[in-house]
Amino acid sequence: MAFPHLQQPSFLLASLKADAINKPFAQRCQDLVKVIEDFPAKELHAIFPWLVESIFGSLDGVLIGWNLRSLQGRVSPVEYSIAMEFLDPGGPMMKLVYKLQAEDYKFDFPVSYLPGPVKASIQEHMVPDSPLYHNKVQFPPTGGLGLNLALNPFEYYMFFFALSLITQKPLPGALHVRPSDCAYFILVDRYLSWFLPTEGSVLPPLSSSPGGPSPSPAPRTPAMPFASYGLHHTSLLKRHISHQTSVNADPASHEIWRSETLLQVFVEMWLHHYSLEMYQKMQSPHAKESFTPTEEHVLVVRLLIKHLHAFSNSLKPEQVSPSAHSHATSPLEEFKRAAVPRFVQQKLYLFLQHCFGHWPLDASFRAVLEMWLSYLQPWRYAPEKQPQSSDGQARCVSERWAPFVQENLLLYTKLFVGFLSRALRTDLVSPKNALMVLRVVKVFAQPSLAEMIQKGEQLFLEPELVITHRQHRLFPAPTLTGSFLSSWPPAVTDTSFKVKSHVYSLEGQDCKYTPMFGPEVRTLVLRLAQLITQAKQTAKSISDQCGESTTSRPFLSWLGFCLSDTNSSYPANDLDDMGQDSIRKTDEYLEKALEYLCQMFRLSEAQLTQLTLALGTAQDENGKKQLPDCIVGEDGLILTPLGRYQIINGLRKFDIEYQGDSELQPIRSYEIASLVRLLFRLSSTINHRFAGQMRALCSRADFLGRFCRYHLMEPGLTDKHLLSPVGQGRVASRARGPRLSLRFLGSYRTLLSLLLAFFVASLFRIGPLPCALLLVLGYFLYAAAMTLLTEQGKLHQL
């Protein structure tokens, strides 16, 4: 596609829009590369907003753009390769960004699409805490609608890229796509590796053309201090007026302004959906959720956390020590030291608190869990390996990480209590839920970690230091010159002060802290240990029942000649899902989880035995499980909180049996509805017409009478318990006369078995009629044998 250099920008934009409809994807990208190389920034700036929106989709989610969250290399290799090359950190799109950056262009971004707390703050004419928004708010003209941010090209591009994870809804066919295989996830990883390097320094922006101007190294930023979280906001108008004057940025900070911007954009767009005030309001059970993250969202945040740990841990040992602050260090080194505590910690804590309190109680919580555990273990992403313990299993956490543990105390302790609350409400018999419990307790049981957490709690509970303001930060606020992190102050050496600052900044001065190793949490841990023990017993009982049902099933029942047992203790589909391999995994996970739990909280075997007996896990005199814990009220049984835990976890259950007419049971999913109704009418007609003859046959005392009773009589309800478990009596026997039941012929399994039998017979050149006679003869022989083996036949009731 060749464009004359004298074209007007409006005509260039119109041509590109027309090509977007008429040309294939590969050709459009080739044309865009040509346009970016040939046209000057003055003309390219007019197409930039349209191009960004056409790639990442519109902010309202109507336009899907290139659908990067569903684009996979193995499904669409050509489109995937072209898109990744075009959007690469060193690719044509980023060259366009730097080309426009050199000319200091600004682009309007609507405030209405920012995360909730940020939008609310700006709409109330208060500047948000993040320096990302300072001096960028544009007041609407008279009669104008809405507020906008004036963003430079790099910021504008990254805002759209980050928000597309939230605003763009996945297509129906993309629900089962693995996020880690998609272009968006891989682009996030590439941008993080490029702008937050673990080795070397950030690469300088490439010039868009050999003889073209170099992009400006950094946007001008006013000299003003950081705003601490939770401080009263300054008026937007006052701040706008008082900071009109800009100063030249420190040249040493030019190398990392893109790194700072990228990190702040990702954190703001992905994590800053809950403020401290909003989090406190969300503790109410009647509060409505303002934002609900998806599993894909959580996976991308975990990728960010893992890379930030690797980025921060790439500091050399001599740069990590507090004395290193007194020596001249590069802005990148300062940024590595400050990235996690200053930009990520609080927003991630509130994000995790919301997820722990509002995520569904299902296996999808595993994504949130792994994100949390990734943050708790920065040593996993350190260049040096952790020392291996003598037994070759668990790695000992180095004392080097004690400051991190203490300065992130709430993310260890309070979130662990939140996980305990979730675990007590989940079905621990499920292998996926059992694995989640194992993952958490295995991490917390790492040698030395529990001691570090206890030390942090002791430092927080020390009474001698009182912080006079609830919003003291972990470090004093530096002066904001050219870079967000320049003039980093000396480290605070008072460890107790830092721990208290951390807790008060996240929870407020008046927070009520519950020690992780205190009596309240220990009670929850003991309850979890009891439920783990009971879940193991439940899994064993399911395994035993599954084995019994398999061995005791009559041979011809596989052909569908016996009615299904509608009164089984566990539904058939649950037994199918809970195979022997799953039960074995559940038992293995729970056994290891209990071992780690005892190791963490120093629980003895005697304590576990005593508490298990106290919950009544022993079997009753009939060898059956007791009822869930309940009390008898005026209207029947009332479950206690313990009884609800037992039912939710599958530890106990009420024995509910169908006690009505077996012919009138609801039609099952494995039956043909119309055929069942037809067979019922046919059998009812036969029973009505030949009732006398069948009664006479069943009243005989010889073999023929027993044979007829075996097929035509069903037991009364003499041996069945009352529907209510309160009473111990029996219902009156409701005898029914002999009758023929043909319902088994309406089962898919029966019909399929018959067709299979006829097919096998045809292979041996046996016709349909001889095959049917053989089947009937075989069944009569089987029925005769069963008649002789039964104890005196069934009860004769006339």
Assess whether pLDDT exceeds 90 at residue 305. Answer: yes
Stated pTM of the model = 0.72
Which one-letter amino acid corresponds to residue 117? P
pLDDT digits (tens, 9 = 90+) for 403-434: 999 999 999 999 999 999 999 998 898 999 99
d(CA 367, CA 298): 6
pLDDT digits (tens, 9 = 90+) for 456-489: 999 998 875 444 443 443 433 333 334 444 444 4
Q: Are the beta carbons of 750 and 775 closer than 8 angstroms?
A: no
pLDDT band at 310 (very low <50, low <70, confident <90, very high): very high
**Cα 650 from chain centroid?**
23
Phi then psi for 299, rounded to 5 degrees? -65, -40
pLDDT digits (tens, 9 = 90+) for 587-638: 899 999 999 999 999 988 787 777 666 555 444 433 445 678 777 776 667 8
d(CA 692, CA 737): 10
| Residue count (the chain) | 798
d(CA 165, CA 56): 9
pLDDT digits (tens, 9 = 90+) for 73-109: 999 999 999 999 999 999 999 999 999 999 989 999 9
pLDDT digits (tens, 9 = 90+) for 389-410: 555 566 789 999 999 999 999 9
Q: Are the beta carbons of 721 and 730 closer than 8 angstroms?
A: yes
Residue that the structure tokens 């309406």 belong to: 746
Q: Which of 180-184, 537-541, 712-716 has the highest mean pLDDT?
A: 180-184
d(CA 152, CA 106): 5
pLDDT band at 580 (very low <50, low <70, confident <90, very high): confident
Alpha helices (runs of H) in 168-273, residue ranges in sequence order: 183-195, 236-242, 257-271
Q: Average pLDDT of 183-205?
A: 90
List the structure tokens of 632.
Answer: 């008898």
Assess whether pLDDT exceeds 60 at residue 533. Answer: yes
List the structure tokens of 716.
Answer: 């009364």
pLDDT digits (tens, 9 = 90+) for 734-771: 556 788 888 888 999 999 999 999 999 999 989 889 99
Residue that the structure tokens 């102050």 belong to: 489
pLDDT band at 139 (very low <50, low <70, confident <90, very high): confident
**Cα 628 from chain centroid?**
30
* Residue environment code for 177-215, b if the CB has 16+ CB neighbours within 10 A, otherwise e: bebeebbbbbbbbbbbebbbbbeeebeebeebeeeeeeb
In this structure, are strands 630-633 and 107-110 parallel, antiparallel, or unpaired? unpaired
Residue 459: CB partners within 8 Å, gap ≥ 6?
406, 495, 496, 499, 500
User: Quick check: helix, strand or coil at residue 628?
Assistant: coil
d(CA 744, CA 786): 18
User: Would you tell me how many other CB atoms lie within 10 Å of the CB of residue 650?
Assistant: 20
pLDDT digits (tens, 9 = 90+) for 32-59: 999 999 999 989 999 999 999 999 999 9
